[in-house]
Amino acid sequence: FSKLSEPEIKIFYNEILQELAEKIIHLKKDTLVWNTWGDALVAIFEDEAKVIELIFSYRDFFKNYDFKAKNINPIFPRIAGHFGRFEIIEDALLGGVNNAFGQNINTTARIEPVTRPNEIYVTEDFKDRIEKSPNNINIKFDELGEVPLAKSFGTYNLFRVRKEDEEKKIIDRIVEQDLSKMLPEAEEINQE
């Protein structure tokens, strides 16, 4: 989003965002919080199935959108999910609309920047909640391991979420290793 030009941002807000809203706005009624923060959508649900419906509808909208038709560079969202406690307030600056704050909100915000474009990364808490859901949710979780979050927020065990019919991807990570023992022995240099 930040790489869009001013004219492209106008197209995004005036046209593309309207089309996205038509696809997902029906989910708003099921949320505790539905808000935008800059170029982010923040949604808090109690119903696990609705969370999954939103994250895949959101991802697939951008994944399948014909950006060329709008003469705009493609947008690749990064989607993050977490499960935990938070505080809901009536935000006076938003005219009493529900908003949320707390450590778990911050955690989700720090996962989003380390998520690969067009991917959905979630915490182990999120994964556990979905797997314990009484709803029949047909998705898969691919473990990514301990991933450092943005802004030195610590590390979390993260998972990539995918639909059951989507193939598993190998997400590479840079791992700090001492490779010196794997190098062959150097031959002696003859000084003659």
Q: Kindly report, residue by residue over 13-47, the tens digit of the pLDDT.
A: 999 999 999 999 999 999 999 998 877 899 999 99
Least-confidence region, from 21-25, 48-52, 64-68, 130-134: 130-134
Looking only at the bridges linking them, the beta strands covering 139-148 and 119-123 are unpaired
Handedness of CA 2, 94, 24, 119 (dihedral sign): positive
- Contacts of residue 127, Cβ cutoff 8 Å, sequence gap at least 6: 141, 159
pLDDT tier, 172 (very low <50, low <70, confident <90, very high otherwise): low
Distance CA 131, CA 121 (A): 15
Cβ–Cβ under 8 Å, residues 117 and 143? no
Q: Cα separations (Å) of 7 from 4, 12, 50, 70, 142?
A: 8, 9, 34, 11, 38
Span 78-137, pLDDT tens digits: 999 999 999 999 999 989 999 999 998 999 999 999 999 999 999 999 999 999 988 878
Give the whole-number percent of the chain exceeding pLDDT 70: 88
Distances (CA, A) of 110 to 23, 32, 58, 91, 150: 26, 21, 19, 22, 5
